[in-house]
């Protein structure tokens, strides 16, 4: 999971009545301290109390992360899902932690979806990029193994001979296409990028940024008068 993000949340607390804010921040600080001491159960209780006083996407993120770390995957995932749905500064981190949970459970499709959402919100998140690559590679290996098993099974059973189909004597008129019509729906939106396209886009942005920095450095080193 991503515990370091917890230490950043106190400073970004939403405004609220002073007493409630003070109590919530106190419980949050205690929860962070417990989390850093690997006391995830105590951290979850403290974060839950803080969320009851002042619920927010940050409070739900803290609670979900602590619950997952404590082995309570289902309620933890639910809290992280609520945090990501509410958006805000922790949405990308929430999707990232949900991806980690799915990847650990070998739910590769879900992990790929979560990491992709995280990168759509925060393209510079290196951890999400790395884990997305891992999930895609594991999915490719899984599909390859499944295909090999299917091929071995078919070889063992023997190939089935195709059955002849009756000819009713009817043929499509000359020049007429007998293929089925295309399904409606139009072209796929360019905004819905696949995980692979997201990774390629990020790599292209990194290359362009590196090229720009090199040009600026080269121009800054030219002698005066050029």
Residue 84 CA to residue 10 CA, distance in Å, equals 18
pLDDT for the residue 226: 34
CB-based contact 43:85 (threshold 8 Å): no
CA nearest 103: which of 128, 126, 75, 70?
128
> For residue 3, how many other CB atoms are within 10 A of its CB?
17
Whether this prediction's pTM lies above 0.85 is answered by no
pLDDT for the residue 224: 43
pLDDT for the residue 82: 95
Residue 211 CA to residue 27 CA, distance in Å, equals 47
Between 213 and 221, residue with greater pLDDT? 213
CA distances from 42 to 79, 141, 208 (A): 17, 39, 46
Structural domains of the chain in order of their starting residue, each with its CATH number: 3-145 (1.25.40.10)
Local structure of residue 17 (DSSP, 8 states): -
């Amino acid at each position: 999971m991503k515990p370091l993000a917890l230490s950043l949340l106190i400073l970004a607390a939403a405004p609220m009545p002073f007493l409630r804010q003070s109590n919530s921040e106190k419980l949050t600080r205690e929860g962070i301290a417990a989390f850093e001491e690997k006391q995830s159960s105590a951290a979850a209780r403290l974060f839950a109390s803080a969320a009851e006083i002042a619920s927010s996407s940050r409070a739900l993120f803290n609670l979900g992360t602590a619950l997952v770390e404590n082995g309570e995957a289902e309620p933890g995932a639910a809290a992280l899902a609520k945090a990501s749905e509410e958006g805000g500064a922790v949405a990308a981190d929430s999707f990232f932690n949900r991806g980690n949970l799915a990847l650990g459970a070998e739910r590769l499709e879900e992990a790929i979806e979560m990491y992709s959402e995280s990168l759509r919100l925060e393209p510079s998140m290196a951890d999400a990029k790395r884990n997305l690559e891992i999930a895609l590679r594991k999915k490719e290996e899984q599909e390859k193994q499944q295909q090999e098993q299917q091929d071995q099974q078919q070889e063992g059973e023997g190939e089935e001979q195709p059955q002849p189909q009756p000819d009713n004597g009817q043929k499509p008129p000359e020049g007429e296409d007998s293929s089925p019509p295309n399904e409606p729906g139009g072209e796929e939106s360019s905004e819905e990028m696949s995980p692979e396209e997201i990774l390629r886009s990020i790599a292209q942005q990194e290359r362009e940024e590196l090229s720009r920095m090199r040009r600026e450095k080269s121009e800054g080193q030219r002698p005066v008068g050029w």
